Structure formats: structure tokens, C-alpha cells
Amino acid sequence: MIEWRNIMLQKAKPISWNNYARHLRSIYNFGIENELLIFRKNPFKAFFVREGKEKKKTYTDAELKVIDGLFDNEYWLDRYLSPRWFIAAIIKVFRYTGMRQSQLVNLKIQDIDLSRRVICISSTTNKNHNYHEIPISTHLYPFLEKMVYEMKIRKRVGTDQLFNLNVVSRRTLNRKRNMSVHQLENIFRHISKIVGFRVSSHRFRHTIATKLMKNPDNLYITKQLLGHSDLKVTLSYIEYHSDMLRSCVDKL
């Protein structure tokens, strides 16, 4: 197993290996507890490797300005990025909530509470299996309001998927099919070609967390906004900031 781990670490990052080992540890635990294996101790119990902390991939302020400009102005977009209001709503959701791709495609119309100005993330679709609410910012509100309106005039009900390109696009072949993560990733590929740099939903998430954690006092805010169940995950977004450290040392 150690030899296999060494081979795998030549192909995968430590974080990927630890994920494999975590799943294998659970499987072996089940096998041992139910006497399906001859092992007395789980060989994957202490089989993790130390993960080096890499700099999170985030957007610069200039890149965010370019992305915003695609929809704030009458910028030409190719036919794969239409209707414009639908694509803009997707980008604004990731820009101002930091939610995951899987959370967006699983959103239902009834999950948008415009009166309370919150997005409700069901425990069944959340990564940590906890119910989660995300506040709707002033910048995001008009986009979600239009999104809900457009779906309702198309006779969609509360339990229908909110972001469904197949319902609003003229190029769709099946209006009864839900939008998939693959379609969402395809949207980001086309946007990336237009702006000339990589655009992804998770990079918005990293950007929000990194900006907030420039002030460690925002620890609770960041944790709640991103729906982290473990503070260690939130703390991983604190980056080395020499100016902040210098100002603190100067006060000693």
C-alpha cells in the first residue's frame, strides 16, 4: 500500500490522495466491523500525507471588471451565451454568493425568497448536508428577481429548476430536460475564450473568501457565507499579508 501511495503521489496532488485514503478508510472500516476482512486494524488509519498550502486561484480586480463589463455593456457575445440576461444572472450569483456549481444547478424557484432576500440551500444538495441560507446582495437582487419572473411566465412551478438553459434558450433540443453541470461548464468555457483568461465558478468562491479573510475579523462572516462546517477550511483562505503584519508589529 505504501508503494501504491508513492506511485499515486507522482500523478496526483496530496489533497487528491488524502481524499482517496479517506474513502478507502471508510470502506475498510465497514469491512472490518462486519468481519468481511481479516484485518484487525484499518491499514488506512494513519495513511494520510501532509498537504502543502497552495495559493488560491482568484480573480484580480481588473479581471472582475472585464467579466462585469460583458453584461453591463452592449458587448458582443456569441450565440452560446444567450439569452444575455440568463448568463448574466448565473455570473452574478457566483460573483456575489460564492456558491458551488452543484448548488446552483440544484436550485429550485421556491428556493429564492425575495421577501426575505435570501437563497435557501437544501441540506440534500449541500456538501456538508446542512441547511444553509445565503443573503441576496443589492447587486444580485434585480438579476434573481428577473430570473424568477422569467421562469414564472414560462409556466414553471416552485419545484422546477431555477437556472434551466433548456427552458430559455432558442437552441435547445429538449425543453423538458434540466440543465446539467456540463452545460454550466460549457458556458464558462465560452466566457473564458472571450475574456482571454480562465473563468470558473470556484474561482469566484476563492476570490470572495480571500478578499473577506484579508481581515481576520471576518472569520465568522466568511464561514457562514460559504457554508463551511469546519473552521479549518475557512482559515485556509488567510494569505500572507506583509503590510497587515507590519502594521500590527509596529504597534508592539
Asked if 117 is an active-site residue, the reply is no
Q: CB of 140 within 8 A of CB of 96?
A: yes
A 10 A CB-CB count for 228 gives 20
Q: Is 7 helix (H, G, I), strand (E, B) or coil?
A: helix
Catalytic status, residue 205:
yes
Looking at beta carbons, which pairs linking 17-23 to residues 24 or more positions away fall under 8 Å?
A: 17/48, 17/49, 18/48, 18/49, 18/51, 21/47, 21/48, 22/48
With 0-12 / 13-18 / 19 or more C-beta atoms within 10 angstroms meaning exposed / middle / buried, residue 139 is: exposed
Catalytic residue at 202? yes
Out of 108, 132, 205, 223, the active site residue is: 205
Q: Which one of the listed residues 127, 154, 214, 241 is annotated catalytic?
A: 127
Is 127 catalytic? The answer is yes
Helices 84-97/61-72 angle, 10° precision = 150
Annotated active-site residue in 100, 108, 132, 206: 100
What's the CA gap between 69 and 11, in Å, rounded?
A: 39
Catalytic residue among 28, 59, 96, 237: 237
Please name which of 83, 84, 103, 82 lies closest in space to residue 93, comparing C-alpha atoms. 103
Among 92, 95, 203, 228, the one annotated catalytic: 228
Any idea what DSSP says for residue 217?
G
Q: Which of 23, 45, 116, 202 is catalytic?
A: 202
Question: Would you call 237 a catalytic residue per the annotation?
Answer: yes
Give the residue numbers annotated as catalytic, written as ranges. 100, 127, 202, 205, 228, 237
